Structure 1
Amino acid sequence: MARTNEKVRYSPDSKSGHTPLTAAEGVTAAFRILEGRWKMLILFHLFSGDALRFSELERAIPAVSQKMLIQQLRQLEGDGVVQRIVYPEVPPRVEYRLTAWGLALCPALDAILTWAEARPGPQGDEA
């Protein structure tokens, strides 16, 4: 594994104006929105940009219970990540789609996926 003599630290030249403390608080707040066993999977299914009906999400994530899916979708809706659209029909039709703010998560989660795929092997060697 490659090492460096230089100490790695938060860049004080950040254009965002964050300090290490405010950056950590901001990331913690973001992860609170995303925490939950099923939220990431729900988000990845909604990243296509298309609205999905509740039943489509249920079929796409068969291991999640209906109660848990409802709970996770309500939390994402409450946080402004997901939009719930109810059509006044009989029977009622409900669709979910990402808000513009939710769609803005896509590059960040793609970057996390790329980071995870680059994980070194068990001996610490670079892949």
Structure 2
Amino acid sequence: MRETCVPTGVNPRDTGFGYTLSLIGGKYKMIILYWLAEKKVMRHNELKRSIGSISFKTLSIMLKELEEDELIVRTEYPQVPPKVEYTLSERGLSLIPVLHMMCEWGENHMPAPESVPQEA
């Protein structure tokens, strides 16, 4: 078993931990991966509606980065108007158990609603 995921004196970006964070870090990438895991196949506007708080441009950038990192597959159909669908790649599917564990950890450790300070 490994002593630590981020050893002393090693740049975290040069570790498996840092590499994973570089792929799924940011505000929306994990949410996009989750939606694709749930729905299997989604189009751009369907993802945008599902996420709600993401702009068209930001979603486009996130999808392009996820595709470049081979976590999703973009399939374009030659028709008018153009039709593009997104699915998880095998590599992307392999991340879903990690995301499920993060979700479970958060559910188990999230403060109870009454203990969260209310904004004035």
Q: Which runs of 4+ in 1 moved over 6 A?
A: none
Q: Which moved more, 1:54-63 or 1:86-95?
A: 54-63
Aligned to 1:26: 16
Identity of aligned residues (%): 34
- Relative distance call for 1:120 and 1:113 in structure 2 (3 A) is closer
Which residue of 67, 74, 79 maps to 1:84? Answer: 74
- In 1: Cα distance, 2:52 partner to 2:110 partner: 31
Aligned to 1:93: 83
Aligned to 2:118: none
Where does the alignment leave 5 or more consecutive residues of structure 1 unmatched? 1-13, 123-127
Aligned to 2:40: 50
Where does the alignment leave 5 or more consecutive residues of structure 2 unmatched? 113-120
Which residue of 107, 111, 125 maps to 2:97? Answer: 107
- Relative distance call for 1:91 and 1:104 in structure 2 (3 A) is same
- In 1: Cα distance, 2:110 partner to 2:88 partner: 33
Classify the secondary structure of the residue corresponding to 2:81. coil
- In 2: Cα distance, 1:63 partner to 1:120 partner: 22
- TM-score, normalised by the number of residues in structure 2: 0.79
- In 1: Cα distance, 2:110 partner to 2:78 partner: 52
* Equivalences, count: 105
- In 1: Cα distance, 2:64 partner to 2:3 partner: 32
| Structure with the bigger percentage of helix | 2
Larger radius of gyration: 1
- Relative distance call for 1:49 and 1:100 in structure 2 (3 A) is farther
- In 2: Cα distance, 1:71 partner to 1:121 partner: 33
- In 1: Cα distance, 2:55 partner to 2:111 partner: 34
- TM-score, normalised by the number of residues in structure 1: 0.75
Instruction: Map Cα deviations across residues 59-106 of structure 1 (whole Å, 9 max, x no partner).
Output: 112211000000000000000101100001111000000001101111
